Amino acid sequence: MDMSSLPERSILVHQHLAEAGVAAEIRVLPDSARTAPEAAAAIGCPVSAIANSLVFLADDEPVLVMTSGGHRADLATLATELGVGTVAMAPAATVRAVTGQAIGGVAPVGHPSPIRTYIDDALRVHSTVWAAAGHPHTVMPLTFAQLVTLTSGTVISVV
């Protein structure tokens, strides 16, 4: 892979993948893939195979939830699954501070420090899931098992 063609944040993601022994090729898309439907159309996969990286505040603690693009996460279900009182979407400034990445390009890895991560059980049905790779124009293919291993994520239901 030609690293010089990748945005800086995607290079950090690639380095994290390499350190973990995961040989996923980061793809640069010609157009933004900020939403699951945009990413699915650009990749040519089902929208439910898109692993959205969403940062929530669980009792005011930032957590990363990798959800299937096929549905919206239910906040009440998340609160129950995470064992917290309240769950709310994190503001953009918090997302950037916690992940070092912009909304629409948040990767499951490559953050300044580890983030407690949860993974939507619905992603399990796909042989390949697609996640953002640190920039709104980059994506990477992973298996469900790689996603769980890379993030040390806890598999939960989000709907």
Do residues 29 and 138 lie in contact, with contact meaning Cβ atoms separated by under 8 Å? Answer: yes
Beta bridge partner(s), residue 122: none
Beta bridge partner(s), residue 66: 53, 119
Question: What total of structural domains would you count in the chain?
Answer: 1
pLDDT, tens digit (0-9, with 9 covering 90-100), for 101-154 = 999 899 999 999 999 999 999 999 999 999 999 998 999 999 999 999 999 999
Domain extent at residue 47: 3-156
Q: Is the pLDDT of residue 158 over 80?
A: yes
Q: What is the CATH number of the domain that holds 59?
A: 3.90.960.10
- Taking alpha carbons only, the member of 110, 130, 136, 140 closest to residue 35 is 136
For 21, 40, 51, 130, 146, the CA distances from 37, given in Å and listed in that order, are: 29, 5, 11, 12, 23
State pTM to two decimals: 0.94
pLDDT, tens digit (0-9, with 9 covering 90-100), for 77-94 = 999 999 999 999 999 999
